[in-house]
Amino acid sequence: MDALAILILVVALVGLGLVAAVTGLLVSRRRGPRPLPNTHTDVLVQPPVETDEPPVELSSPPATLEPEVELPETPEALVEEAPALERPEGTASRLVRLRQRLAGSQGALGRGLLALLSRDRLDEDTWESIEDTLLTADIGVGPTQELVERLRTRMRVEGGTGADARTVLREELLALVDPSMDRRLQVSGADGQPGVVLVVGVNGAGKTTTVGKISRILVAEDHSVVLGAADTFRAAAVEQLATWGERVGVEVVRGPEGTDPASVAFEAVKEGVARGVDTVIVDTAGRLQNKAGLMDELGKVKRVIEKQAPVTEVLLVLDATTGQNGMIQARVFSEVVDVTGIVLTKLDGSAKGGIVVAVQRELGVPVKLVGLGEGADDLAPFDAGAFVDALLG
């Protein structure tokens, strides 16, 4: 082969190599970079490169970073807080107000009697006036005659000044009210069981309100309490009792309107036993004394309750302003359930305080509590001495 042919062959081979190289470069650009041999998907964070230059401080966040969002502060008014529980008034201060309230409402009776007994001459007309004054005060015929005879005897023997008349009258009225009666509320049961207080009375006497006020007295004395809303025929009574309970943190067991009252009473006592509370107070429907069926139902409530725990107290709520009508109510209720104590409401609005004596004589049980106003703590333990002192003004 001559030299020219060899040169042409070399040039051709070089040209083919250049074409192959260009073709490979174009193909590699279309396919992208070759994959790395390591196929792990975690992002590898490279260690920082040490340098003598100070780090760069950014005066503002990079544009690619979203700015930090500040959440608005919640207004204090929108924060719901549990209502603070009320702290009921203690017994000592209630008794102070008892004396003050009674002195304002009942003093007319005592002042009238003192004026008659302080006369220079106690003739038959005077004694008749004394008797009329006592009867008007709802003391009752029997107790009135007894008191007049005792006053006649003592004033005839002792005689004396007006101060002596006051002393004699106070002693005789106190004996009539009978300070020896046990007026303590039986709010504790035996063998770890709760005391069960059944509250009865006609509608309008203040029965449901009395239940709420009794719970406040017990809470003030650090007793644990459960209330049973067994007056299921009056939705307002159930709601009213629930409100009383909420104010002092006392649980109220209730049922739908029209529920069998005995079943609600049963569940309330059952709850009290389960929780180990000190006292369960059961409100009942206002029974009219001329409806035998309803009165029989009240007896049923008591029997059902006693399947869980004995009833330790049956309180009869009477309106002090009803006079002899209240006495009729007292008789009927005492025939259905064994009344153990009496609560006299609205005593502050009546000068007829003699009903205290009359109802005690009728039932043979003590007045244990008296209502002296519309306030939440206007219910106080009855104190015979304070009552008589208030009568005398």
Q: Determine how many CB atoms are found less than 10 A away from the CB of residue 6.
A: 10
Q: Determine how many CB atoms are found less than 10 A away from the CB of residue 251.
A: 18
CA distance 312 to 103: 33
Q: Is 287 annotated as a binding residue?
A: yes
Q: Is 132 annotated as a binding residue?
A: no
Q: Is 348 annotated as a binding residue?
A: yes
Question: What strands, in cross-sheet order, belong to the sheet with 195-200?
Answer: 251-253, 225-229, 279-283, 195-200, 313-319, 341-345, 367-371, 379-381
Q: Is 219 annotated as a binding residue?
A: no
Listed residue (174, 173, 178, 195) closest to 186, CA to CA = 195
Buried b (16+ CB within 10 A) or exposed e, 49-74: eeeeeeeeeeeeeeeeeeeeeeeeee
Q: Which residues fall within 8 angstroms of residue 170, CB to CB, at 6 or more apart?
A: 388, 389, 392
Q: Is 389 annotated as a binding residue?
A: no
Residue type, 256: P
**What residue spans of 249-342 are helical by DSSP H?**
261-275, 292-305, 324-336
Phi then psi for residue 235, to 5 deg, are -60, -35
- Per-residue tokens: 312: 């330790």
Q: Is 201 annotated as a binding residue?
A: yes
> Which residue shows structure tokens 């000044």?
161
Judged by DSSP in three states, 225 sits in: strand
Q: Is 260 annotated as a binding residue?
A: no
List the beta bridge partners of residue 381: 369
Q: Is 91 annotated as a binding residue?
A: no
Q: Is 153 annotated as a binding residue?
A: no
Q: Is 285 annotated as a binding residue?
A: yes
- Per-residue tokens: 269: 């006592």
Q: Is 204 annotated as a binding residue?
A: yes
Q: Is 283 annotated as a binding residue?
A: yes
- CA distances 214 to 253, 259, 297, Å, are 16, 24, 24
Q: Determine how many CB atoms are found less than 10 A away from the CB of residue 20.
A: 10
Residue numbers in the known binding site are: 201-208, 283-287, 345-348
Q: Which residues line the annotated binding site for GTP?
A: 201-208, 283-287, 345-348
